[in-house]
Amino acid sequence: MDDSKTSPGLIAAVAAGVLFCGCLPLTLLVIGGIGAMFYMEMSTEPDPYERPIPPQDTAVPEEPPEPPNFVPAVSRDGSEPTIGGSQVEIEVVQFSDFQCPYCSTRFEELAELAERSSWLRLQFKHYPLSQTCNPNLSVDMHEHACDAAKAADCAHEQGLFWPMAAEMFANQDALEEKDLAAKAAAVGLRMPQYRRCMALGYTDGLQSDIASAAAMEIRGTPAIYAHVVDSGRWYKIEGDLLTELERLR
pLDDT tens sequence across 119-140: 999 999 999 999 999 999 988 9
Strand duo 90-96 + 120-126: pairing? parallel
223: helix, strand or coil:
strand
d(CA 82, CA 173): 26
Q: Does domain 71-248 have CATH number 3.40.50.720?
A: no
Q: How many CB atoms lie within 10 A of CB 236?
A: 16
pLDDT tens sequence across 87-125: 999 999 999 999 999 999 999 999 999 999 999 999 999
Average pLDDT over residues 226-243: 94
Question: In the prediction, which pLDDT does 80 show?
Answer: 97
Answer whether 0.75 is exceeded by the pTM: no
How many residues does this entry show for the chain?
249
Question: In the prediction, which pLDDT does 86 show?
Answer: 83
C-alpha distance across the termini of the chain, in Å: 68
Question: In the prediction, which pLDDT does 57 show?
Answer: 53
Minimal CA–CA distance to 132: which of 193, 61, 210? 210
d(CA 199, CA 202): 9
pLDDT at 47 over 80: no
Average pLDDT, the chain: 83
Question: In the prediction, which pLDDT does 204 show?
Answer: 93
Q: Which amino acid makes up residue 238?
A: E
Tell whether omega for the bond before 192 is within 30 degrees of 0, i.e. cis. Answer: no
pLDDT tens sequence across 131-176: 999 999 988 999 999 999 999 999 999 999 999 999 999 999 999 9
Query: Domain residue spans in the chain?
Result: 1-62, 71-248
